[in-house]
Structure 1
Amino acid sequence: MRISLELELKDKPGQLVNALEPISRLGGNIVSVVHIREEIKGERVPVHVIFDVDNHGRLEKILKELEERDVLISKVGEEKKKERISIMLIGHVVDTDLKDTLDRINELGAKVVDLDLEMPHPEKESSAKMNIEISEDIMKKKVFEVIEKIAEEKNLLVIKSLEA
């Protein structure tokens, strides 16, 4: 799971390392650290840390050790991991109600974030490449099942990206 921490560190040398060390040592994989010196609050500097950890038990150990090290934790949040998949639909994509296709994908909780449409001539088949963002709580399998069903209903060919 991906964790977002907002910390407040004492404004003196070594405090950032003091906060990051237990995260790393206890199994956290640090993704991002933003040290916000412009927003000093009293004697403390805000720091935003994002890291991956494999379970809540490890997270609790990390939080406990940070508190023992006099690191103030102002916010703890879990970020949803997102994955992006690409598909291509070939056929009469526009004529078979492109908006309906997009709506049905988005209704699953997935999100079509990019759409490239190639329409050589109104009478000919078109193609649409879609980049779809899926959070980890949405099953990729379900998204593909719905896309396959839409393609079957609308007589479209589906091409999935290799990573899909």
Structure 2
Amino acid sequence: MRISLELELKDKPGQLVNALEPISRLGGNIVSVVHIREEIKGERVPVHVVFDIDNHGRLEKILKELEERDVLISKVGEEKKKEIISIMLIGHVVDTDLKDTLDRINELGAKVVDLDLEMPHPEKESSAKMNIEISEDIMKKKVFEVIEKIAEEKNLLVIKSLEA
């Protein structure tokens, strides 16, 4: 899971390392650190840290240790990881109600973020390449099940990207 922390550190040398050390030692993979010096609050400097960690137990240990080190934690949040999957539909994509296809994918909580449509002639088959954004919450398997069901109903061929 990806965690976003807003911390307030004492404005003196070594405090940033003091805050990052337990995150790293307890299994956090630090993704970004933003040290916001222009927004000093009293004697403290705001710092935004984003890291990946594999379970809530380790996160709780990190938070406890940060408090023991006199690091103020002003906000803790879990960011949802997103992934883009690509598929191609081949057949009478437009004639079989493209809007319905997009709506059914988006209803799952996924989001079609890009659509490339190739339509050589209104009478001929067309193809649509879709980039679909999914979060950790949405099972990739469920998205593919719905796409396969749509393809079967509408007599379309589905081609999945290699990483899917």
User: Which bin holds the TM-score, normalised by the shorter protein?
Assistant: over 0.9
User: Aligned-pair distance for 1:21?
Assistant: 0.5
Structure 1 outlier segments of 4+, above 4 Å: none
Deviates more, 1:114-123 or 1:143-152: 114-123
User: Aligned-pair distance for 1:141?
Assistant: 1.0
> Could you list the runs of 5+ residues in structure 1 that have no partner in the other structure?
none
User: Aligned-pair distance for 1:69?
Assistant: 0.8
The residue that corresponds to 2:128 in the other structure is 128
Hey, what's the Cα distance between the residues in 1 that align with 2:4 and 2:52?
Answer: 9
Hey, what's the Cα distance between the residues in 2 that align with 1:25 and 1:130?
Answer: 41
Hey, what's the Cα distance between the residues in 2 that align with 1:121 and 1:45?
Answer: 61
Helix, strand or coil: the match of 2:100? helix
User: Aligned-pair distance for 1:145?
Assistant: 0.7
User: Aligned-pair distance for 1:159?
Assistant: 0.2
Deviates more, 1:70-79 or 1:120-129: 120-129
Hey, what's the Cα distance between the residues in 2 that align with 1:130 and 1:51?
Answer: 30
| Paired residues, number | 164
User: Aligned-pair distance for 1:84?
Assistant: 1.3
User: Aligned-pair distance for 1:31?
Assistant: 0.9
Helix, strand or coil: the match of 2:63? helix
Per-residue Cα deviation, 1:49-107 (whole angstroms, up to 9, x for no partner): 11111111110110011011111100001111222110001111111111100000011
Hey, what's the Cα distance between the residues in 1 that align with 2:38 and 2:128?
Answer: 45
Hey, what's the Cα distance between the residues in 2 that align with 1:48 and 1:114?
Answer: 31
Calculate percent identity across the aligned residue pairs: 98
- TM-score for both structures, normalised by structure 1: 0.96
User: Aligned-pair distance for 1:45?
Assistant: 1.2
User: Aligned-pair distance for 1:161?
Assistant: 0.3
The residue that corresponds to 2:6 in the other structure is 6
The residue that corresponds to 1:41 in the other structure is 41
- TM-score for both structures, normalised by structure 2: 0.96
Helix, strand or coil: the match of 2:108? coil
Deviates more, 1:50-59 or 1:120-129: 120-129
> Could you list the runs of 5+ residues in structure 2 that have no partner in the other structure?
none
What is the RMSD computed on CA atoms of the aligned residues?
A: 0.9
Hey, what's the Cα distance between the residues in 2 that align with 1:12 and 1:123?
Answer: 71
Hey, what's the Cα distance between the residues in 2 that align with 1:14 and 1:109?
Answer: 43
